Structure 1
Amino acid sequence: MFRKKKNQELDLTQKEPCAGERRKFLAGEAVFFSPKPMPAYHLKSEDTVPSSEILEVNDAYMDIGVRCQGKAFQVQFGLVSINAVSFVALLILTHAGFFYGGPFLDAFLRAFNEIVFGISIVYLLLAGIVWFVIIKTSFEYARQRPIRFHRQRREICYYPDGRTTPVIAPWEQIVSWVALSRGTTGTNVMTTYTFGMAIPTPDGKDYWLLRQPVYSVGEAQRKWETMRSYMDEPQKNWPRSLPFIKEDRAMFDAERERIWAKFKKGPRKWLSFKFTDPADSYFTLFCYYFYHILSCWKIPYLVSEWTDSLNKKPLPENINEWSQPLPKNEWQQPSEALLTQRTAIKKHYEAGGNLTNFLQTKH
């Protein structure tokens, strides 16, 4: 989900930021959402949107992370690329068989002997690159552990720098921001946006930094509100998790049976280019099967299942215990400073203000 960086651009250790602060750095500026955790905009219950980053959410905790999504397509794309080389080589050999003249089989074998070594080298090179990328990205996915937000304890659990030992940090001490960086290509000025979080180390002297590229300030605000609304808002304002379709062999079989049943039901055309609906014609159905044959049928889904299983490591026993719900009388409450500031910023939003001018107008 995030790319980890050292605390270089934003000097958080020398001067702790506060919500609403704008801080300039070498290539741009950042606007902070916390600490204390403040809403990024005037929140309404109808503003809550589903998030694909929510892995699990319940009354006690919420997990934010990445799903094993798109792995099957990655494998399909790689296998189609390398198997297309074999298919093109077969077409070349077939053409060469006619070109050489004489009995077709003899000419085909002569052409095969002449180019088989070069084709084999190219195929093995491509296959090695493709499978290296597939396996590398699978293990990178497995090393990414979710961040767990415990609402009742008002703490978060994270795994710094890919370590297996988690660290617990107070929610109200989390630093979050959206950064706008400007650069030039020589002819144009480009603006990039980054959503960032800084989680304090146990000794309180430094931060573990996480940064994720986003398309806009609005996307960064929605990411922040996904976390903050769960931790600080009533249940009606909690974020929702998007339904997750697991990319496995069962999904492939079910989709193939659906397409075949629809094709048999008809009406059937001979030719169409509606590739989003393989059952639309004989041609699109042929392309569907040909594509999956080139991508080795169920192998991409088998790899997806394997990749998904890599990430299902059991949590340490102390984190399982930490994740359990608490009796209501033991729930940690927001600090008075947070409640005071949150009341002030909600009034500020209702008056038409925004986060960036909150510090200038608050009393």
Structure 2
Amino acid sequence: MNSISTQSEQSPRAGRTEAFPSGRLTFLAPSPLPTGLPPVDHGHAVGEMNVGYLDFGAKATSVFGWQMTFGGPFGLFLLGAFGFPIILSGLAMAHGRELETAVEVFWEMFDYGFSIAVWGGLFGFFMLYLPRWQAYAKLRNAIPTRFNRQRREVCFVPKGQNEPIFVPWEELVAWVTEAQGVTEYGVQRQYGFGIGFYHPETGEKYTLEFETYGQPQAISTWEAIRAYMEYEVHTLKDIQDPLELQGPDDPPWEGVHVFRNARKRLHDEYGNGKRGMLYLIGWYLYHLVTFWTIPNRLVEWEVKKIKRMSQKALPKAMAQWSEPLPEDQCARPSEELKRQSRRVLELQKADPRRSVLEVFAQVDEEFAGTSSMTA
């Protein structure tokens, strides 16, 4: 979470759009209204979820990230050490050379390219692993943003500070960002999701932003948090398992159990005729190139390591604030939020194809509520 000096700007309200030189941002909150999109944490930014709180920001990388870290360099090694020699020897035979000559071409190119392929693969692995190592260094003292649904508050510990700041849930500001720029490869568009607030004592604005694949994914990330805070989802499996590869008793991360479940499903679908032989072979080749279950095991290791680091850096006040509350002491949604949420659901039901941002803007106009970013 970063601190930015106070800027003169309009009061954030759900559905309102603000332009900036390279794009625009649209507010989803204050007043956390239902978006109608599925609650999915596409980027696995949620690190822990239990009965009392959700941690946002201290995440483990996905299995796919590790698969690319291993599979990309290994694929380049195979291409350089074996692919090019096979291609060149095949071309030699296509031009009328004898088999013996083609074999000689293969071994000459293999001897020439093997060491290059090895060093190229190692360099590629280093370049892909370096950002991961840097991320671990940042996580060592990082404290996640914690959403406590029993208290209906959010706890922030800004970068470089030790004292937590507690913000009422219904006053938290959330937004999606759309930006574009011109590069040597053409026009590129970027999307992001952010949350923030103004500190009541210093007047500083604090923001926390994540990059996403698109606007729907950004809104779905917010919906995952909103649905948790409003008791609509309760486990990580609800928001991080869109492929349903985790069993009822499996831990909520992409460990070896996910690999085994995926393989079992594959064989079941192959036996029922839903998948062909080529798909089956391709699945096994992909996982062989990406080092079989090693990425899953590394994710399990990451989850445990990040949990240890987060608990170690947790301030005492934040730990006490995170303790569960008796049912009769739990906070309840405001009547204003209930009325606005009911109106949003009515409008969404009347026209499901209408943009959620348009719905929010209409509800904001109808209720003419005032919200601020003050914690």
Please give the TM-score of this superposition, normalised by the length of structure 1. Answer: 0.66
Is residue 356 from structure 1 mapped to residue 361 from structure 2 by the alignment? yes
- The DSSP-based 3-state class of the residue aligned with 1:208 is strand
- Give the residue type in structure 2 aligned to 1:194: G
Classify 1:121/1:326 alpha carbon distance in 2 versus 1 (closer, same or farther; 3 Å): same
Question: Which residue of the other structure, out of 10, 33, 40, is the alignment partner of 1:51?
Answer: 40
Q: What value does the CA root-mean-square deviation take over the aligned residues? A: 4.8
Aligned to 1:147: 145
Aligned to 2:204: 206
Contact 1:179-1:194 within 8 A present in 2 as well: yes
Question: Identity rate of aligned residues, in percent?
Answer: 21
- The DSSP-based 3-state class of the residue aligned with 1:152 is coil
Following the alignment from structure 1 to structure 2, what is the Cα–Cα distance between the partners of residues 16 and 166? 28
Contact 1:79-1:296 within 8 A present in 2 as well: no
For 1:269-284, list aligned pairs within 5 A.
274-276=277-279, 278=280, 284=281
Following the alignment from structure 1 to structure 2, what is the Cα–Cα distance between the partners of residues 199 and 168? 10
- The DSSP-based 3-state class of the residue aligned with 1:326 is coil
Question: Which residue of the other structure, out of 50, 62, 67, is the alignment partner of 2:54?
Answer: 62
Aligned to 2:173: 175
Following the alignment from structure 2 to structure 1, what is the Cα–Cα distance between the partners of residues 198 and 157? 12
Classify 1:5/1:86 alpha carbon distance in 2 versus 1 (closer, same or farther; 3 Å): farther
Following the alignment from structure 1 to structure 2, what is the Cα–Cα distance between the partners of residues 311 and 22? 36
Following the alignment from structure 1 to structure 2, what is the Cα–Cα distance between the partners of residues 252 and 348? 40
Superposition deviation, residue 149 in structure 1: 0.5
Aligned to 2:28: 33
Following the alignment from structure 1 to structure 2, what is the Cα–Cα distance between the partners of residues 259 and 348? 41
Classify 1:290/1:29 alpha carbon distance in 2 versus 1 (closer, same or farther; 3 Å): closer
With 60-69 and 134-143 compared, the bigger mean Cα shift is at 134-143
- Give the residue type in structure 1 aligned to 2:164: V
Following the alignment from structure 2 to structure 1, what is the Cα–Cα distance between the partners of residues 255 and 261? 10
Superposition deviation, residue 150 in structure 1: 0.5
Following the alignment from structure 2 to structure 1, what is the Cα–Cα distance between the partners of residues 167 and 53? 14
Contact 1:76-1:300 within 8 A present in 2 as well: no
Is residue 24 from structure 1 mapped to residue 24 from structure 2 by the alignment? no
Superposition deviation, residue 97 in structure 1: 12
- The DSSP-based 3-state class of the residue aligned with 1:39 is coil
Alignment length (residue pairs)? 328
Following the alignment from structure 1 to structure 2, what is the Cα–Cα distance between the partners of residues 15 and 100? 76
Following the alignment from structure 1 to structure 2, what is the Cα–Cα distance between the partners of residues 131 and 339? 54
Classify 1:206/1:100 alpha carbon distance in 2 versus 1 (closer, same or farther; 3 Å): farther
Contact 1:61-1:151 within 8 A present in 2 as well: yes
Aligned to 2:371: none
Aligned to 1:73: 67
Is residue 88 from structure 1 mapped to residue 83 from structure 2 by the alignment? yes
Classify 1:165/1:81 alpha carbon distance in 2 versus 1 (closer, same or farther; 3 Å): farther
Superposition deviation, residue 197 in structure 1: 1.3
- The DSSP-based 3-state class of the residue aligned with 2:120 is helix
- Give the residue type in structure 2 aligned to 1:62: L
Contact 1:192-1:215 within 8 A present in 2 as well: yes
Following the alignment from structure 1 to structure 2, what is the Cα–Cα distance between the partners of residues 288 and 344? 48
Q: Deviations over 1:249-278 (max 9, x none)?
A: 565567668878999x899xxxx97443x2
Superposition deviation, residue 170 in structure 1: 0.8
Classify 1:324/1:221 alpha carbon distance in 2 versus 1 (closer, same or farther; 3 Å): same
Aligned to 1:281: none
- Give the residue type in structure 2 aligned to 1:322: W
Contact 1:55-1:241 within 8 A present in 2 as well: no
Aligned to 1:321: 320
Classify 1:311/1:91 alpha carbon distance in 2 versus 1 (closer, same or farther; 3 Å): same
For 1:114-129, list aligned pairs within 5 A.
116=111, 119-129=114-124
Following the alignment from structure 1 to structure 2, what is the Cα–Cα distance between the partners of residues 159 and 24? 29
Q: Which sections of structure 2, spanning at least 5 residues, go unmatched?
A: 247-252, 351-357, 369-375
Q: Which sections of structure 1, spanning at least 5 residues, go unmatched?
A: 42-46, 279-283
